[in-house]
Structure 1
Amino acid sequence: MEPPRAPALRRLLPPLLLLLLSLPPRARAKYVRGNLSSKEDWVFLTRFCFLSDYGRLDFRFRYPEAKCCQNILLYFDDPSQWPAVYKAGDKDCLAKESVIRPENNQVINLTTQYAWSGCQVVSEEGTRYLSCSSGRSFRSGDGLQLEYEMVLTNGKSFWTRHFSADEFGILETDVTFLLIFILIFFLSCYFGYLLKGRQLLHTTYKMFMAAAGVEVLSLLFFCIYWGQYATDGIGNESVKILAKLLFSSSFLIFLLMLILLGKGFTVTRGRISHAGSVKLSVYMTLYTLTHVVLLIYEAEFFDPGQVLYTYESPAGYGLIGLQVAAYVWFCYAVLVSLRHFPEKQPFYVPFFAAYTLWFFAVPVMALIANFGIPKWAREKIVNGIQLGIHLYAHGVFLIMTRPSAANKNFPYHVRTSQIASAGVPGPGGSQSADKAFPQHVYGNVTFISDSVPNFTELFSIPPPATSPLPRAAPDSGLPLFRDLRPPGPLRDL
């Protein structure tokens, strides 16, 4: 099937191979089979981008001779073809067929009169069938009935055979990023080991290690899915769903870590106020539920004839909105932390600048994907950009928290075994929980061990002190609390 020789289509043929409105999960692969029975006279079946000179469609169709005659229509992803007819309720079957050009071999007539379709009449149990071997979109006066089996391929290479042209390179990209993230995870574990030996392994760093580890698992399952898909053209949808769940989990852990650091948790204080913990809980619950809804929406409601990537959906737009809201919160938290602790500028200024780019990367990626990337290349490019965004986020944090004497951005300065309350007594002897913390001292902390992250105490408020806190001598210039045993100089790695 040779496309029109327009310059943009010379090397790549990106038609939408139309046909069936709803398919079982395995029909998403490039080996599709099923049994269609519909009262409609024009039905979408599947989508595949062929490479010119390499793309091939092998098919087998069978339908009752009484339903004759049915056609297969192959549409190009040109504004005058597929977008002009799909979801066009004002056009009947003939109008939808009229936009294609038969001279480009875009019509396959499933009758014995069309030799290329390979059709012949066979009889089974007194019923005559037309059995054909080639492709499919149908035209009939009283609905459609068809058994179909298709193998859609692009060349013979393991890396391209079963892949649509817009999926080329996804497997190689995922394998590359898997190796890079494995390196990042092991480096984070090594740095964590060094920090633990110095009693500086705080909860936020453990969250970073967890996010990197879950990212590795996600990419591993993506590679397993695409590897199987490359082998049999079907893949395992359960593995792909698991990979997406892990990918979302890694993102959520990392996002929570950023907001906590922005609020000063483990950097300028050891507790989050009650109001802050409630807001965080509500926000992260909402974000998690939106991710789950997005996965369900994608599995159940995404139209394979229209939607080409995740953010082209209401749930995707909702995630973008939540991302923007998280950035506003992040900005406010960082500015408050800097106002109370200007000595933390070496960490917070580059931290804020780096992750401002990260927060806006997803909305910008969505805009670019919608308006700046051709549809036939969108999926593979978006996949690479998305993984690159995750790599940027993890790589920046790994560099900023490396335990090296040359690292002026290192955020942690209090040992996990030295954390003590340092609130300033307010009127009536009450403690002001989150204000005026001295340099390198936390506000309210009860963590006394570094062996296991105490997530149950992450956002709780400690009980009021039973005895008055010691105070510095008037005008002594000394902080209310300070470290009596400083961690000592950092070592160069």
Structure 2
Amino acid sequence: VTLLSNPQDWVFLTRFCFLTDFGRLNFKFRYPKSRCCQNILLYFDESSQWPAVYKRPDKDCYQKESVLRPENNQVINLTTHYTWSGCMVESEGNEEMLNCVGGRSFRSVRERWWYIALSKCGGDGLQLEYEMTLTNGQSFWTQHFSADEFGILETDVTFLVIFATVFTLSCYFAYNLKGRQLLHTTYKMFMTAAGVEVLSLLFFCIYWGLYARDGVGNGSLKILGKLLFSVSFLIFLLMLILLGKGFTVTRARISHSGSVKLSIYMTIYTITYIILFIYEAEFFDPGEVLYAYDSPAGYGLMGLQLLAYVWFCYAVLVSLKHYPEKQPFYIPFFTAYTLWFFAVPVMALIANFGISRWAREKIVNGIQLGIHLYAHVVFLAITRPSAANKNFPYHVRTSQIGILLSSPKGMGAESFPHHAYGNSSFLGDSQPNFTELFSIHSDPVKTIDETVARKGQEVPRNSEHKIITTTADLSSTFAPLPPPIPPRSSAHSTPPPRLTSHFTEYFSMQRATGMGPNA
């Protein structure tokens, strides 16, 4: 029950989007008979109705009532003379009270916004208690929902299941990457963004589930869901910029100036988001159907998104210039997220100017979640730890980064060694490949014949000035190995096992069957 006491003679109460055939308003109004007579006014969203009277200080109460059509039963007079109002006089102490209990059904050619106001033209203000229930049908999924909110609960539940699956897959991939020491910071940021997205959708689903039950819900849950949704977006955006700059792909750390710029940018982005929340909570007029991005803070966020895209483009181009062998990762990465960067501002503009207000909220909710899902699925696909994935970005192991960072300045402390991609280490099991654990591949590889031919010359080096060593070089440095000790003769003796193909035949101890030690 809401208590209203207002010195004005015309007051807006609430709005609701009714279905074409199943809209229903049930009301209870109670006020002193001495303050008779008050009216319920029902406006719809045609330009000649609600937009013509709301926030029009040049029109008085009588002019605002005059736009209503009596034949449409848009005025409910709260007196005993109007049968449909359901008003009865009741005594309460020494004062008589008008207690009005009734309802009204709504029918229209399409879903419409209806605006409910209260008036007492020429009187001394409004004072009453009221309770209203606005419904669409009797189904759990529609009863308490405005028509513009239809499908939001079902959509959020569906995306909650999908995002939970994405997060589970990311955890499984992270387990495999950690086993191969390729679980880098950027992948952890992706997992965090996906996990926060799941929490956000969980709170949204709880809120809409409670709302479907009683038509009220818990506003704190909705606010918390929005905050987590924004946090997930900011983490993912930061991860994209870091990857564009080559962090964990071509370099071990970001330069000091780059870190400062990133910190300033993300701080401004976060503050703008906070301003948007405050603006939406404090300045959005419930008498108007507004969208979060249809505000100064919303346009500021779109501008920051485009600025982030320019930065992203520059960072990717610089990374490709210095590491052209990373094209299998960066080209699909850049193409996919170019679409993502533009999707958010384009969606906001379409929502502001291209979607009818009675359908905006449910459509925007689905599009927004679809954009987030696209971003997460693409990243999950291009970073999957599979030998068939030619787009895999990482090639330096986490155990090597500390060694690279501890190297002297000017010796490549920030940049990784060149390598096309890191999926060659995926052997089909979840154990680390210890053979390549501390190796940094050099290209091109020298053959044994080339090395033998250059014996006595300078030590061979490759294009990165790293010494090339092969098993054939050992013969020029160390004394020959002593002859092998012949095995004891035994009827049950078995020949020594053949060594794996990773060792050359120069050090083979294999002997032909039936040959004696003097052969």
CA–CA distance in structure 2, aligned partners of residues 107 and 481 of structure 1: 89
1:480 deviates by: 5.8
Please tell me whether the aligned partners of residues 214 and 250 of structure 1 are also in contact (alpha carbons under 8 angstroms). yes
Q: Which of 43, 48, 53 pairs up with 1:85?
A: 53
User: 228, 233, 236: which is aligned to 1:246?
Assistant: 228
Structure 2 residue corresponding to 1:439, chosen from 405, 409, 418: 418
Q: Do the aligned residues in 1 keep the contact of 2:14 with 2:117 (CA within 8 Å)? A: no
Are positions 1:404 and 2:372 aligned together?
A: no
In the alignment, does 2:186 pair up with 1:218?
Answer: no
Contact 1:308–1:379 (8 Å) recurs in 2: no
TM-score for both structures, normalised by structure 2 = 0.76
CA distance in 1, matches of 2:303, 2:265: 12
The counterpart of 1:42, out of the listed 10, 14, 18, is: 10
Match of 1:187 in 2: 169
Alpha-carbon separation, structure 2, partners of 1:317 and 1:110: 44
Q: Do the aligned partners of 1:438 and 1:482 also contact (CA within 8 Å) in 2?
A: no
Pairwise CA distance, 1:53:
2.3
| 2:243 and 2:249 in contact (8 A); partners too | yes
For the residue of structure 2 that corresponds to 1:138, the secondary structure is strand
> Structure 1: which 4+ aligned runs deviate by more than 6 Å?
422-425, 481-484
2:367 counterpart of 1:388: no
Per-residue deviation, 1:247: 0.8
Distance in 2 separating the partners of 1:350 and 1:184: 20
Give the aligned partner of residue 479 of structure 1: 464
Q: What is the CA distance between 1:421 and its match in structure 2?
A: 2.9
TM-score by length of 1: 0.80
How many angstroms apart in 2 are the aligned matches of 1:474 and 1:423?
Answer: 26
**Count of aligned pairs:** 418
Shift of the alpha carbon at 1:126?
2.1
Deviations 1:423-463 (A, max 9, x none): 998xxx7567667x541499xxxxxxxxxxxxxxxxxxxxx
Question: Which residue does 2:149 correspond to in 1?
Answer: 167
Unmatched 5+ stretches in structure 1: 1-32, 443-472, 485-493
> Contact between 2:325 and 2:420, CA under 8 Å: does it hold in 1?
no
- Report which stretch shifted further, 342-351 or 379-388: 342-351
Does the 8 A contact of 2:460 with 2:468 survive in 1? no
Identity among equivalent positions (%) equals 75
Given candidates 306, 309, 325, the residue that maps to 1:327 is 309
* Residues 197-254 of structure 1 deviation map (CA, whole Å, 9 limit, x = unaligned): 1110000001101111111111011100100110111101111111111111111111
Counterpart amino acid of 1:119? C
Give the 3-state SS of the residue equivalent to 2:119 in structure 1. coil
Deviation at 1:67, TM superposition (A): 2.4
The correspondence for 2:404, drawn from 416, 421, 429, is 421
Distance in 1 (CA, whole Å) between partners of 2:460 and 2:344 is: 50
Q: Does 1:137 align with 2:117?
A: yes
Within-5 A mapping of 1:458-477: 476-477=461-462
Q: Give the SS at the match of 1:389.
A: helix
Matches within 5 A, 1:357-376: 357-376=339-358
Native 8 Å contact 1:262 1:337 kept in 2: yes
Q: Distance in 1 between matches of 2:176 and 2:197?
A: 22
Does the CA contact (< 8 Å) of 2:404 and 2:412 recur in 1?
no
**Quick one: which of 359, 370, 375 aligns to 1:377?**
359
Distance in 1 between the 2:323 and 2:227 partners? 37
RMSD of equivalent CA atoms? 2.4
Partner of 2:89: 121
* Structure 2 residues not aligned, in runs of 5+: 104-115, 422-457, 470-519
1:82-127 per-position Cα deviation (integer Å, ceiling 9, x unaligned): 2222212222122222222221121111111111011122232322
Distance 1:483 1:63, change over 3 A: farther
Larger radius of gyration: 2
Cα offsets for 1:268-306 (capped at 9, x unmatched): 101001111111111111211222222222222221121
Deviation at 1:267, TM superposition (A): 0.6
